[in-house]
Structure 1
Amino acid sequence: MTDAALPRPRRLSRLLRVNPIWLVLLILIGAIVALNPDFTEPQGYMNFLRRAAPLCILAAGQVFVLTSGGFDLSVGSTITLTVVGASMLLYNNEAATWWVILAMLGAGGVIGLVNGLVVALLRVPSLIATLGTMITVSGIGLMWSGGAPRGYLTDGFRAAGRFMWRDVPVIGLLPAALLVLIGGGAVLWWLMHGTNYGRLLHAVGDNPEAARLAGVPVARVRVLAFVVSSLSAVVAGILLGGFSGVSLDVGTGYELQAITAAVLGGTQLLGGRGAVGAALGGALTLTAIFTLLNFLGLPQPVREVVQGLILISAVALAVCRRDA
């Protein structure tokens, strides 16, 4: 055997290590292009990325909680509270845009802190704790709005979700939401994979008792994971409010979509394994599936059935991976 033959197995080995979610995404994009060739135009693929941005941010934040060994079911209601609360506080007052955004981020931080403290200190299962938070936050939103959408979102608040730069060299269009996704994704990737916190998070999710005996501050690690998830939900809410407007059900179902996207990307249920980049791939794949179903003209009930089957399959696959 010559030395020239050696690099080939290495290249094959590296190829086999590529997360399969990216191959699935490419296949789905190919199917979308076959059904709608206009998707290859800037208006097509940039709108796709703009629509995917909220779920991508949300899934990347959810990975932190899943990797720690928990679930966060409160992110959907946090999205709704962000949109409804911002509209009530702004009421078309452009000058209040930035302090309202900061107020919503502060509210998201408090929601995450409460979730984390209840789970880490009171030892309430995260599924129950965040379910309670979801119901509570939804109730707050309903009481605040009087049961119907009220108020207005300013153009400045909506810019992150719906503004686009046109006539951009090479790419043609550049949505502001894509820049938010790139910036937010980079920060979350760095926190998970570029800091000591990410290593501690994986250790806690893999074996919390061993991590505690090794001196890892388990409670603080878990609390921060919930805070990151809730802050990601606020950012997703700002983006959704930008191109969807004010609605009392704007965040409905996003908690399950975020978990599905993260699991599709390879995040392990019950903790110990998760990657932000793979979660972004899972979110893009899930959005591509919804886009494909829309192009096929399937009614909403059928799309919901498909989403449920994807969730069940993703969870079953994650359990098989863990048991293998």
Structure 2
Amino acid sequence: MTGMPVTGAWRRVPAIWLVLLIVTAVIIWRNPSFAEPVSLLTFLKRSAPLIVLTAGQLFVIVTGEFDLSAGALITTCVVVAAKVSAGDPALTWPVIGLLALLGAGVGLVNGLVTTLLRVPSFITTLGMMLVLNGAVFLWTGGSPTGSLAPEFRQYGRETGYAVAVTAVVVAVAWLLLHRSRFGHLALATGGGTRAAALSGVPVARMRIIAFVISGLSAVVAAILLAGFAGLSKEAGAGYEFQAISAVVLGGAVLGGGRGTAGGAVAGALTLQCLFTLLNLLGLEKPLRDTVQGVLIILAAAFAAYRLRKEQ
């Protein structure tokens, strides 16, 4: 009888999927109704913004950079959509187009400042986060006004739409990273900037495109989040750190050169499952933030250890 031994097959399964399986099993043990189809689909709907944002953050990280402005961009998109459309259904698609331009523009600025001016992306995107948060506060006076039309909110409110949009984003991310020349060049960019440049890889262009992808993913995440969370001045608060956590948990290496779309999705789902479990246990948000910080440190340490071991 031929084939891969069972133990060998298990070793090829990324660890994050096993962690996801264990955490899900614990949730079902604590709350059996979680295993029902309706509950699982609702969970996927609420996980959709993080999954989409994580897919965009993945491209930035594999090219060796960070994007800390994604959460602020989500908030900005939600506030702009409500303010501009004022609940008018006829403005749904024009507003979505405006948000796409905003997301691409923010990503482009992040990329240009990081590559042409050679400002570390950590500083660049931290500055952009402060700019966006300040602009939203000045524009709204700290109290966002306007409303979101049902036609705008349906993509995040209705489970079918949210799951479908997320599936499309994940599929595009997987094809782009693992089945295209762009993905090969992106991984090469993060694997070694100097070596990639000497090999003819357009390093600056790859990083700029990665930031634009991250900006557009924040726009999609904002639309999905607005669907079930509505208008809030803190709509995207903390999402940038959750996305980075998910990417690292999924096996990507901080510094670039390694990462998979499947691992990033598993990381996002695992993080969302952990938050669900902490809520079931009655633990408060500060502890959830502590757990997230510990996970980032442990995941980064494990990734660094694995990389050293393979060298």
TM range (shorter): over 0.9
Q: Which residue of structure 2 aligns with residue 249 of structure 1? A: 234
Q: Give TM-score scaled by structure 1 length.
A: 0.93
Q: Does the 8 Å CA contact 2:23/2:270 hold for their aligned counterparts?
A: yes
Aligned-pair CA distance for 1:193: 1.0
Aligned-pair CA distance for 1:149: 1.8
Q: Does the 8 Å CA contact 1:39/1:45 hold for their aligned counterparts?
A: yes
Amino acid at match of 1:309: V
Q: Does the 8 Å CA contact 1:79/1:237 hold for their aligned counterparts?
A: yes
**2:130 aligns with one of 126, 135, 148:** 135
In the alignment, does 2:19 pair up with 1:19?
Answer: no
Aligned-pair CA distance for 1:22: 0.7
**1:29 aligns with one of 19, 24, 28:** 24
In the alignment, does 2:179 pair up with 1:194?
Answer: yes
Identity level (%): 50
**2:41 aligns with one of 39, 42, 46:** 46
Structural mapping, 1:126-205, within 5 Å:
126-164=121-159, 175-205=160-190
Amino acid at match of 1:187: V
Aligned-pair CA distance for 1:298: 1.1
Amino acid at match of 1:100: V
Amino acid at match of 2:59: F
Q: Which residue of structure 1 aligns with residue 92 of structure 2? A: 97
Equivalents in 2 of 1:191, 1:84: separation in Å?
30
Aligned-pair CA distance for 1:8: 4.2
Q: Does the 8 Å CA contact 2:24/2:273 hold for their aligned counterparts?
A: yes
Structure-2 change in CA distance of 1:244 and 1:212 (3 Å):
same
Equivalents in 1 of 2:45, 2:137: separation in Å?
28
Amino acid at match of 1:98: W
Q: Does the 8 Å CA contact 2:253/2:300 hold for their aligned counterparts?
A: no
Structural mapping, 1:264-275, within 5 Å:
264-275=249-260
Equivalents in 2 of 1:223, 1:118: separation in Å?
9
Equivalents in 2 of 1:310, 1:293: separation in Å?
14
Aligned-pair CA distance for 1:130: 0.6
RMSD over equivalenced CA pairs, Å: 1.2
Aligned-pair CA distance for 1:317: 2.0
Equivalents in 1 of 2:173, 2:139: separation in Å?
31
In the alignment, does 2:99 pair up with 1:114?
Answer: no
Amino acid at match of 1:283: A
List, as ranges, runs of 4+ consecutive aligned residues in structure 1 with deviation greater than 4 Å.
Answer: none
Structural mapping, 1:57-76, within 5 Å:
57-76=52-71
Q: Does the 8 Å CA contact 1:68/1:205 hold for their aligned counterparts?
A: yes
Aligned-pair CA distance for 1:322: 3.0
Equivalents in 2 of 1:317, 1:55: separation in Å?
23
Equivalents in 2 of 1:132, 1:301: separation in Å?
25
Aligned-pair CA distance for 1:52: 0.8
Structural mapping, 1:273-288, within 5 Å:
273-288=258-273
Q: Does the 8 Å CA contact 2:245/2:292 hold for their aligned counterparts?
A: no
Unaligned runs of 5+ in 2: none
SS in 1 for 2:201: coil
SS in 1 for 2:234: coil
Q: Which residue of structure 1 aligns with residue 3 of structure 2? A: 7
Which stretch has the larger CA shift, 42-51 or 221-230?
Answer: 42-51
Equivalents in 1 of 2:11, 2:116: separation in Å?
42
Amino acid at match of 1:39: F
Amino acid at match of 1:186: A
Q: In the TM superposition, what whole-angstrom CA distance separates every residue of 1:150-188 from its partner, at most 9, and x where no partner exists?
A: 110000110011114xxxxxxxxxx31111110111111
Structural mapping, 1:231-242, within 5 Å:
231-242=216-227
> When the two structures are aligned, how many residues end up with a matched partner?
309
Equivalents in 2 of 1:60, 1:92: separation in Å?
29
Q: Which residue of structure 1 aligns with residue 298 of structure 2? A: 313
Aligned-pair CA distance for 1:13: 2.7
Q: In the TM superposition, what whole-angstrom CA distance separates every residue of 1:30-52 from its partner, at most 9, and x where no partner exists?
A: 11111111112222111111111
Equivalents in 2 of 1:115, 1:301: separation in Å?
30
Equivalents in 2 of 1:322, 1:140: separation in Å?
41
Equivalents in 1 of 2:171, 2:231: separation in Å?
28
Equivalents in 2 of 1:264, 1:300: separation in Å?
20
Q: In the TM superposition, what whole-angstrom CA distance separates every residue of 1:211-268 from its partner, at most 9, and x where no partner exists?
A: 1111111111110000001110111011111100111111111111000000000001
SS in 2 for 1:127: helix
Aligned-pair CA distance for 1:274: 1.0
Q: Does the 8 Å CA contact 1:260/1:315 hold for their aligned counterparts?
A: no
**1:79 aligns with one of 52, 74, 88:** 74
In the alignment, does 2:298 pair up with 1:303?
Answer: no
Q: Give TM-score scaled by structure 2 length.
A: 0.96
Equivalents in 1 of 2:125, 2:254: separation in Å?
16
Equivalents in 2 of 1:206, 1:21: separation in Å?
22
Which stretch has the larger CA shift, 300-309 or 240-249?
Answer: 300-309
